[in-house]
């Protein structure tokens, strides 16, 4: 059966006119009758193309300040009629309803209006009624009508018009219907989320999706839904993988803690920091971060809070790493780092991160606020007789920032604003501490005078005892255990300082 249908008439009503010119010119060349409204009608007339005003077929002008233009049976009948249904066609003739084969509509920019900080009145006026109704009607009747709902699809529409000289296939119409329902559902989700102050339901929508080479493993399919280009300029290298993206996310969230600080460099592997250091120069910060665990750094993700310069780039270039992230690079640094063809170089833009985290769980999703609290000096409560000195205090806050972004159970050991080691993702806090100490010692760190950060309280004094025996003399932890006094008593007896933050930083 031949499913080709000739476009004889089109309804065009768009907010954005960019890119519309070649479309209307092609339709005119094909002899297509064009119906339009308001600004779009004026745009078409100015091109010297015949156009029929919608109000000429409805006998109603645009009313209520433009809120009602196309909501009329003669418009929606022309779109929704079934061309193979005899009763539909008899009613079309009885009520003198014109057939419409192509609908080109876009929607008021609701999301942009919200993002601009506009008033509620302006935002509400950008809730499209006629446009969304036209899209749903035309997409529903894809067997007879082609619906184009975004200027991003104009190029594809032109290709379809040129290929078959104004004829469309069922496959074409169904594809554009899917695109249209994607647009309409995303639009409705954005409106709902604007009004959803009481969190009555969870809805999320992404219109941009990218197929990845694979997921965590080669036998798994993987996709990324989001606007990567809004966060980064990709300057060089291969395509990012599923695992790369997870590591980049972890790196960006960690380095956010050090925004505006002295030169800071971090190296991550499997979402955890294996090296972090803050120094007077970025080169030294990188070298000291690398010293934290040069073995794990192989194939890692590198991130800086400052412009990567030539001297730092020379050092980085000696390491095999998957991704380098920085707010900017000097030309000399870029030239060096591009020496490895697969190395991914990302320039991070100053873009706000999502305020919530979402992950699948059982047959649904878990949604929570981001852990937005960064422990600062004013949050600390000294609970021991021994108080941390100024150097220890800086190291405690430094370690706390890293601890917050390390998988639980975790212990972080730091000294002179350098990560010595961390115990990550252990089922026991004691195991996490022992892992951190063993790792620090394996890379020849002297833990005498180092500090310890814990993401949660100590239920027993065993951790502070083990830490003290390793030379650690200052501890930061949230507190809150019914046995806090046992750890405090041990610290007092052994001249170890301890501060409590009152904030737990679990990261599962």
Catalytic residues: 140, 270
Distance of CA 363 to the CA centre of its chain: 23
DSSP 352: P
Helix axes 170-195, 130-140, angle to 10 degrees: 140
Distance (Å, whole) CA 138 – CA 80: 7
Q: How far apart are CA 488 and CA 494, in angstroms?
A: 10
- Lookup result for tokens 């308001």: 38
- Strands 33-36 and 9-13, by their bridges, are parallel
| Assigned token pair, 236 | 């060089």
Return d(Cα 35, Cα 381) in angstroms, integer: 71
213 token code pair: 């080479």
Query: Token digits for 450?
Result: 């180092």
Q: Please say whether the dihedral angle defined by the alpha carbons of residues 388, 391, 396 and 397, taken in this order, is positive or negative.
A: positive
Can you point out the beta strands (E) in 327-423? 344-348, 356-361, 364-369, 381-382, 411-414, 419-423
Distance CA 216, CA 337 (A): 26
Query: d(Cα 53, Cα 495) in Å, to the nearest integer?
Result: 86
Pick from 476, 270, 508, 505: nearest CA to 382: 476
What Å distances lie between residue 34 and 9, 44, 69, 131, 360, CA to CA?
Answer: 6, 9, 16, 17, 47
Give the three-class secondary structure for 121: helix
> At 175, which helix (H) or strand (E)?
helix 170-195
The rounded distance, in Å, linking the Cα atoms of 84 and 78 is: 14
The per-residue DSSP string of 127-162 comes to: S-SHHHHHHHHHHHTTTT-EEE--GGGHHHHHHHHH
Annotate 301-337 with DSSP letters as a single string.
Answer: EEEESS-B-HHHHHHHTTS-EEEEEES-B-HHHHHHH
Taking Cα atoms as reference points, which of 402, 397, 395 lies closest to residue 380? 397
């Amino acid at each position: 059966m031949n499913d080709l249908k000739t476009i004889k008439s089109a309804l065009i009503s768009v907010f954005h006119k960019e890119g519309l010119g070649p479309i209307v010119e092609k339709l005119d060349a094909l002899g297509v009758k064009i119906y339009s409204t308001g600004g779009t009608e004026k745009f078409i007339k100015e091109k010297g193309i015949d156009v029929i005003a919608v109000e000429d077929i409805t006998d109603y002008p645009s009313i209520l300040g433009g809120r009602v233009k196309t909501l009329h049976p003669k418009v929606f009948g022309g779109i929704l009629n079934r061309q193979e249904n005899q009763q539909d066609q008899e009613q079309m003739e009885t009520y003198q309803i014109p057939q419409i084969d192509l609908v080109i509509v876009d929607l008021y920019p609701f999301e942009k209006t919200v993002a601009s900080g506009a008033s509620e009145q302006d935002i509400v006026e950008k809730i499209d009624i006629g446009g969304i109704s036209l899209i749903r009607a035309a997409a529903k009747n894809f067997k007879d009508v082609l619906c184009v709902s975004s200027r991003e699809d104009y190029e594809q529409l032109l290709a379809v018009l040129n290929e078959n000289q104004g004829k469309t296939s069922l496959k074409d119409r169904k594809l554009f219907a899917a695109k249209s329902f994607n647009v309409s559902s995303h639009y409705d989700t954005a409106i709902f989320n604007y009004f959803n102050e009481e969190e009555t339901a969870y809805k999320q929508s992404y219109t941009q999706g990218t197929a990845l080479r694979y997921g965590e493993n080669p036998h798994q399919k993987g996709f990324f839904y989001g606007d990567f280009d809004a966060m980064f300029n990709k300057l060089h290298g291969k395509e990012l993988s599923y695992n790369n993206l997870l590591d980049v996310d972890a790196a960006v969230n960690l380095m956010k803690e050090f925004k505006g600080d002295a030169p800071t460099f971090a190296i991550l592997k499997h979402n955890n920091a294996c090296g972090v250091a803050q120094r007077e120069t970025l080169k030294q910060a990188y070298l000291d971060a690398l010293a934290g665990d040069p073995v794990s750094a192989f194939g890692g993700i590198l991130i800086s809070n400052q412009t990567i310069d030539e001297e730092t780039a020379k050092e980085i270039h000696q390491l095999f790493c998957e991704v380098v992230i920085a707010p900017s690079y000097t030309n000399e640094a870029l030239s060096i780092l591009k020496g490895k063809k697969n190395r991914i170089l990302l320039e991070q833009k100053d873009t706000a991160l999502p305020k919530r985290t979402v992950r699948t769980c059982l047959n649904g999703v878990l949604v929570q606020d981001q852990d937005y609290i960064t422990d600062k000096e004013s949050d600390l409560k000294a609970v021991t007789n021994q108080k941390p000195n100024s150097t220890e205090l800086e190291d405690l806050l430094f370690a706390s920032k890293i601890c917050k972004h390390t998988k639980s159970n975790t212990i972080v050991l730091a000294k002179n604003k350098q990560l010595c080691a961390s115990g990550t993702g252990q089922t026991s806090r004691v195991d996490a501490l022992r892992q951190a100490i063993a790792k620090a010692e394996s890379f020849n760190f002297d833990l005498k005078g180092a500090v310890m950060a814990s993401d949660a309280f100590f239920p027993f004094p065993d951790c502070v005892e083990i830490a003290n025996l390793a030379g650690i003399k200052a501890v930061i932890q949230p507190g809150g255990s019914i046995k806090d006094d046992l750890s405090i008593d041990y610290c007092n007896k052994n001249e170890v300082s301890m501060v409590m933050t009152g904030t737990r930083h679990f990261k599962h």
